[in-house]
Amino acid sequence: MAFITLDQQKLKDNYHYLNKLFREEGIQWAVVSKLLCGNRLYLEEVINLGIHQLCDSRVSNLRAIKKMSPEIETIYIKPPPMRSIPEIVRYADISFNTGLSTIQALSAEAEKQGKVHQVIIMVEMGELREGVMRDDLIEFYEKVFRLPHINVVGIGTNLSCLYGVLPNHDKLIQLSLYKQLIEAKFNRKIPYVSGGSSVSIPLIFEKILPRGINHFRVGETLFLGTDVYHDTVIEGMHNDVLRLYAEIIELIEKPTVPMGEIGTNVEGHSFSFDSETSGKTACRAILDIGLLDVESNHLFPADPQIKFAGSSSDMIVIDLGENEKNYKTGDLVEFKMDYMGALRIMNSRYIGKQVR
C-alpha cells in the first residue's frame, strides 16, 4: 500500500506564518486548493484554518467547497469554459477572465440565476499564459463595465507558471498603474490588484512589492513552505506538511546491471550501464507505487542513502546498497515531494489520504 499524510499542526503553522505576513502588509489573500484535488478530508482541514477565500481551477472542487462551507468566497482561477458557465456562476463567487464573449455568457447566466457574478480581469504581463493584451485593456474594461450582471472586482496577472517569467517590481507596478488608470477613466472602484502568488512572496521580504498589490493567491507555499522565486524553503515554514509513505513489497539482493539484450522500457527510454558495475550486487526494494501515481524525480527520500533504480507503471524500484538500516518487506519508506509530485499523488485514487 501507499498513502499520503497531512500534518495538521504544520499546516496551521504555515498558515499562521503567512497570515501574519500578509496582515502586516495590509494584503488580503486566498488559499489555492487545487493541489488537494477536491479531497474532502484535506479541504476540511484547510477550511478549519479560518480562511475567507478559496481558489480552485476545477468547478467540481468549488462545488464541494460550497457544500462544506457556503460562507467561504470561492474563486475560479482560470478562464471559464463555455460549457461550464452555469456551474461556475452557481459555485464560484468570482472568476478570472480574459474573453469578452465568456464574460457576456457569464452575465447572461447570472441573470438566469438571479445573481451578479464578480470577475477579475487578467492582464498579459509577459508569461504568455492567460491575459488580455495590455494595448486592448481600456477598450476591454469599457465593454465589460456595460454588462448588467457582472461586477468587476479586480485586475490580476499570472507569472511563473508556464515559462517561469518571474514577478518583479516593474511588472507589478505596471499592474497597479493600470488599475489606477481604469479607475480614473471610468470612475469605477476596483478593489483587488491580484498580482501576488507563491512566487511573489519573496518581494515582500525584500521590501520591493509595490504597495498597490493588495491581493495574493497562495497554494504551494502554504503546503510546501516553498520560496518559489529562489527554489528554497522559507525560514520558519515547514516543507513536510504532506508526506508520502510507500510499502516495500519485495526486497532481494540482486545484480546492479540487467542481464540480456536491452531494448526500451515502458516509458520508451533506453539505458546504458557502466561496465565497472558489472558483477556487483545491491539490495533492491520494490515499492507499491508507480508511474501511474507519480514520477520518481518529484520524490525525495527521507533516508538519504536510498537511490532510485527505476520505475514501471505500478512499481518503483529503489537501491538500498548494503541495507545498513535493515529494511524488510512490509516496511514503509518515507518521501517528501515537490509541488508536481504532491499534485500527482493527490490526484491518484489509488493512494490513501490521512491526517495526522
Identify the active-site residue in 10, 12, 20, 34: 34
CB atoms within 10 A of CB 42: 22
Supply φ then ψ for residue 40, to 5 degrees: -65, -35
Using the CB atoms, write b or e for 141-179: b if 16+ within 10 Å.
beebeebebbbbbbbbbbbbeeeebbbeeebbbbbbebb
DSSP code, position 270: B
Closest by Cα among 167, 221, 215 to 27:
215
Residues 6 or more apart from 297 whose CB is under 8 A from it?
none
String of DSSP letters for 186-199: HT----EEE-EEGG
Give the strand pairing for 307-311 and 352-355. Answer: unpaired
Closest by Cα among 36, 32, 38 to 15:
32
115 is catalytic: no
| Continuous segment of H or E residues that includes residue 180 | helix 169-186
Say if residues 121 and 156 touch (Cβ distance below 8 Å): yes
First to last CA, the chain: 18
| Continuous segment of H or E residues that includes residue 153 | strand 150-156
Looking up cell 447572461 gives 108
Using the CB atoms, write b or e for 68-89: b if 16+ within 10 Å.
ebeebebbbbbbbeeeebebbb
Provide the residue type at 38 as one letter: G
Catalytic residue positions, numbered: 34
